[in-house]
Amino acid sequence: MRPTGKLHLGNYVGALENWVRMQEQYDCFFVIVDWHALTTDYADPSRLKENLVDVLLDWLAAGLDPAKCVMFIQSHVPTHAELHLLLSMITPVGWLERVPTYKEQKENIKGKDLDTYGFLGYPVLQSADILIYKADVVPVGEDQVAHVELTREIARRFNSFYPRKGVGGYAAPTATPEELQRRFYIFPEPQSLLTPAPRLPGTDGRKMSKSYGNALLLTDPEPVVRQKLKTMVTDPARVRRTDRGDPDVCPVGDLHKIFSSKDTMAKVYEGCRSAGIGCIECKSWAADALVKILNPMQERRKKYEDNPRLAWDILEAGSARARDVAEATMDEVRESMGLDYGPAKDSTK
């Protein structure tokens, strides 16, 4: 995740909620990618540290648990940069120019010069982030599937140039394709793990995004949540209290579908379609549901806000663990590429 500062409910239902579940089933590595932030925001890195702390606090608030997963900062594991460099040697420029988000972001992000080597190459850095942990799966949204596909292509190309050294003999006839793959090659080909994330509308009905100014933040206190909900757009057909509406075309209805109980949903459908309830009442029920989710998160967050050292300790311990795993992979990479000739000797001594 990029260090974009405080997270919103869209980040929660689109990614974090799923990550919290995944930490129970997988060996998870969650990374705050500060170098990626520089690919677009290189001109002003002044808020980087503050933003990454906010992301970490929101992760912890949402329920990521350092006893169950590894949380770390990308730049604290310098081997990501080494693998990025090595992978960039074998990645054809055409592959990067064809990445759909490359063109899209260049056209849509205004006021920044993205004609840079770093911006073109950021999917290679992303591939290094994934491959250095030999990830089997990467939880992504639809827009990132092409990046995981590119990672697979880069892994395949690396494996074909640099198979493991000294692996010979016969493999057991019962060996699975995965076992064979791991025996002969360093990098497994990671798969996208797509989780169907509901589209979360912001207060203006568009997709929730901090850049639209329509977001409900995980840190918003109850009065702010209620105030934001009050201004939220509703079914445009419901102009007067006596007009009937339809929760299926109302952004508040979308919030209810994600966060409210079945009983509340039934009341919303019945009351809206018969004009039996007003939008103000309906919105207060949605606010109740949101506050119920946000309150425990904000309590957890406060524990770390009051003691920031605790949060840094988690990042430092996670970064140390990540460095160990990444370094072990890099030993294999250097060996397979014939770069395992040890550190340079100081000829002046």
3-state secondary structure of 139: strand
Q: Does position 260 bind ligand SF4 by CB under 6 A?
A: no
138 near ligand SF4, judged by CB under 6 A: no
Closer to ligand SF4 by CB, 234 or 336: give it.
234
- Binding to ligand SF4 by residue 10, rule CB under 6 A? no
Beta partners for residue 339, in sequence order: none
CB of 271 to ligand SF4, least distance (A): 6
Alpha carbon of 230 to those of 218, 313, 315: distances in Å?
18, 40, 38
- Name the one range near ligand SF4 by CB under 6 A: 57-65, 98-106, 157-165, 271-279: 271-279
Determine contact, residues 34/74, Cβ cutoff 8 Å.
Answer: yes
Joined tokens for residue 183 = 């025996």
Min. distance of Cβ 231 from ligand SF4 in angstroms? 12
DSSP lists the bridge partners of residue 29 as 70
Contact status: 228 vs ligand SF4 (CB under 6 A): no
Output the smallest distance, CB 150 to ligand SF4, in A.
41
Instruction: Note whether 287 binds ligand SF4 by CB under 6 A.
Output: no
Residue pair 15/139 in contact (Cβ under 8 Å)? The answer is yes
> 307, exposed or middle or buried, with CB in 10 Å at 0-12, 13-18, 19+?
exposed
Which range in 78-86, 106-114, 182-190, 275-283 contacts ligand SF4 by CB under 6 A?
275-283
Distance CA 45, CA 43 (A): 6
- Residue 277 in the binding site for ligand SF4 (CB under 6 A): yes
How many degrees, rounded to 5, is the angle at CA 126 between CA 325 and CA 156? Answer: 80
Residue selected from 84, 147, 283, 301 as contacting ligand SF4 according to rule CB under 6 A: 283
Kindly state whether residue 245 participates in binding ligand SF4, applying the rule CB under 6 A: yes
CB-count burial class (<10 Å; 0-12, 13-18, 19+) for 271? middle
Q: Does 282 bind ligand SF4 (CB under 6 A)?
A: yes
**Shortest Å, Cβ 253 to ligand SF4:** 4
Q: Which helix (H) or strand (E) holds 20?
A: helix 17-25
Q: Is 254 in the site for ligand SF4 (CB under 6 A)?
A: no
Q: Which is nearer to ligand SF4, 22 or 208 (CB)?
A: 208
Among 70, 208, 250, 322, binds ligand SF4 (CB under 6 A): 250
Query: Residue 74: exposed, middle, or buried by beta-carbon count in 10 A (0-12, 13-18, 19+)?
Result: buried
How many residues sit in the footprint of ligand SF4 (CB under 6 A)? 14
User: Please, what is the minimum distance in Å from the beta carbon of residue 270 to ligand SF4?
Assistant: 10
Q: Which residues bind ligand SF4 (CB under 6 A)?
A: 234-235, 238, 245, 247, 250, 252-253, 268, 272, 277, 279, 282-283
